[in-house]
Every structure is written in structure tokens, then in C-alpha cells.
Amino acid sequence: MMKRREFITLIGGAAAVWPLAARAQQPTMPVIGFLRNTSRDDSIELLAAMRQGLKQSGYVEGKNLALEYRFADNQLDRLPVLAADLVRRQVAVIITGGNASSLAAKAATTTIPVIFSTGDDPIEIGLVSNFARPGGNVTGVSWLSTATLVAKRVDLLHQLMPQVVTIAYLWNPNNPILEHELREARTAAEALGLQILVLSVGSERDLEAAFARLAQERAVPLLVGGDSLFNSLRDRVAALAARQALPTMHYMREPVQPKPIA
């Protein structure tokens, strides 16, 4: 997830990347596809920002623009089918939310423009080949906040709690993109003489077991991985961490803010 203002700016400029030929092939009311890893309820802020950005470019849903929404509900294996469905729908552009959805959209089409937002290095995860000239039909923005800054977060936890020797790391094993972030966390921890306790959470039902393991460890701070699943479960993660008075660090501010109401 990205900050609301950045997402508004990104979407406001998205119309500029639609090829003129593609626009000419579209009906009077163009159709934009929106593909996301999580659920609609977990996308309220992004959807509002997207609509605002489009409005700034003169596009209003239901007036001169149609939107097709596809949500994987944190079941990443559904993304290829959902992306293919948008391609069959012949949308003018696909806007994605989450690395897995961006990669699924890229794999589904080489002609429909794909607009991504990511906290990772888009070259490292295979979205583009070059920052200045992305090439192909995929472009977007990166704010380099997940794997790139995970070493900084490990170091900050160490500074805040210099007495601890182990840091717990919450990660989603169903998302292979996070493996790079986990490697970076381990490397940073080893450099500081720390150990990483990896807690695998692939769905909400895994949370209780993960926090039960944490309860057995004494005063181990928790570093939450940069996965959209954990943003979806942020209220549950916060409640479990609070129950144990557990120092917890996230990769963005949203998990410590109340979820917006639809």
C-alpha cells in the first residue's frame, strides 16, 4: 500500500500513459480494471484515492468512465484468473494494488497498460527492466519502503531495545516476493549480532499460533513484514500485540490507524 496522496497523483497521471491507439479502440465510456491482492473492504482508501485522481483528470465513474473491480481476498493463487478476466473484458488500463497483482497483470497482457504501485524495487521483483525507461506496457511508482528499508527497521528496533537478542519477524510464506525482504532482515540482524525468529502467517487462522509462540519468548519485539495480508489483518495483529504488551513495528503507518468505514 502507498500513501493516499501519492496514489492520487499516480492515478491522476495514469490517463497520460494510455496509448492513443488503445483509446481510439475504446467505446465512448472507457473501462478501467482494478486488481488487488486483498478484499474490497481493505481497499477503501485506495479506491477513494483512485477515484479522486481520475476526477482530477476529468474522469468520473458512471459518468464518462466505468470501473471493473477484481479482488483476490488474500488468495494469491486467484490473481492470474482475475487478471485474465480483465484482459478478456478489454479494459483500457489495469491499475493494480500489491506486487502479486502487478505481476499477475503483467503476465496476463503485453498490450494493455498496467499501472502499479510498490514499496519494493520494481526492477528487483521483475516488474520493469529500467527506472528511466520501464519498457513494455508496465509502469508505475515505487516508494522503496519494504525490502529496501527493512535493514533500517531492524536497526531502529535494536536501538530502541538494545537489551534484546532476538527479533520476531512476521511474514507470509504464500508470497514469494517477500523472500528478498526476509533475507535483508536476516542479514541486518546478523550484522547487529541479533537472531531472527520467523513466524509464518499465510492466513488469519495462523495468527493465534504465531502469537502463542511469541508469548513463549520474553520481550521479543515484533517486526511485521511488508505484505498486504498484514494490512488486512491489522486490527487483529494490533489486538494480539496489545494483549502481550508487545513492541511492534510496521512498514507503514496505516496498521496503527483505525480502518476507514465504507
- Residue of 226, 40, 200 lying closest to 117 (CA atoms): 226
CA pair distance 120, 180, nearest whole angstrom: 10
Whole-number pLDDT of residue 146: 64
CA pair distance 214, 242, nearest whole angstrom: 12
Whole-number pLDDT of residue 21: 45
Instruction: Tell me the three cell numbers of residue 107.
Output: 503476465
Asked whether residue 85 is domain-assigned, the answer is: yes
> How is residue 149 annotated by DSSP?
G
CA pair distance 140, 13, nearest whole angstrom: 10
> 51 and 123: one domain?
yes
Q: State the CATH number of the domain containing residue 169.
A: 3.40.50.2300
Asked whether residue 261 is domain-assigned, the answer is: no
> 109 and 138: one domain?
yes
How many other CB atoms are there within 10 angstroms of residue 83's CB atom?
27
Whole-number pLDDT of residue 254: 73
* Domain end (from 142, 172, 206): 142
H-only helix segments in 57-178: 79-88, 99-108, 150-160
Count of domains forming the chain: 2
The overall pTM is greater than 0.85 = no
Residue ranges in the chain whose pLDDT is less than 70: 1-27, 144-148, 219, 258-262
Whole-number pLDDT of residue 20: 45
Domain span including residue 151: 147-256
